[in-house]
Amino acid sequence: MRRFSIACAVVALGLGTAALAADDPVAAAYGNTVVVTNAKGETSKTWYKADHTYTSEGPKGEKSQGTWTLAENNTKFCVTPVLPAGAPPPKEPIKQLCAEFKGAHKVGDKWTQNDFDGKPITVEIKAGM
């Protein structure tokens, strides 16, 4: 399930507003909740901040956190999970995960895209935290 939480963080972002798109195409996510639903109907939530950090909660309440960035001339949205202090080392090295960046969206928008594994998901930006 942790992988699903991370997938939510990666794919959930064609985020921004038309007015802010040139400056920060992810701005619509700040202070709001990005909800991702996979083909099984499992839902995760992610909260993005302007300082390029995020926190997320998977479908069973599992928590994750990390950093995000836009890459390749704003065509890719990437996250790098960060383990909390005192967490046991991971079995595999932590690596950056990227998915296509679908462009600017606003609060209330809902769209489909693929996660970083190429699987379809639905993404929605909901007002508030």
- Using the predicted structure, report yes or no on whether residue 116 has a pLDDT greater than 70: yes
What is the band of 80 on the pLDDT scale with cuts at 50, 70, 90? very high
Q: Which residues contact 127 (CB under 8 A, 6 or more apart)?
A: 32, 33, 107, 108
108 near 11, Cβ under 8 Å? no
Tell me the mean pLDDT in the region 97-122: 92
pLDDT of residue 26: 94
**Residue 15, pLDDT score:** 46
pLDDT tens digits, 12-27: 454 433 334 458 999 9
Amino acid at 112: T
Residue 3 pLDDT: 55
- In the DSSP assignment, the letter for residue 3 is H
Cβ atoms of residues 88 and 108 within 8 Å: no
The residue-averaged pLDDT of 121-126 equals 96
Q: Where are the domains of the chain?
A: 2-126
Q: pLDDT tens digit string along 29-76?
A: 999 999 999 999 999 999 999 999 999 999 999 999 999 999 999 999
Based on C-alpha coordinates, what's the Rg of the chain? 13
Output the pLDDT for position 106. 95
Contacts of 63 (CB under 8 A, 6+ apart): 5, 55, 56, 57
Average pLDDT score over residue span 109-115: 92
Distance (Å, whole) CA 99 – CA 46: 15
Percent of the chain with pLDDT over 90: 61
Q: In terms of pTM, does the model score above 0.75?
A: yes
SS3 9: helix
For 2-126, CATH gives 2.40.128
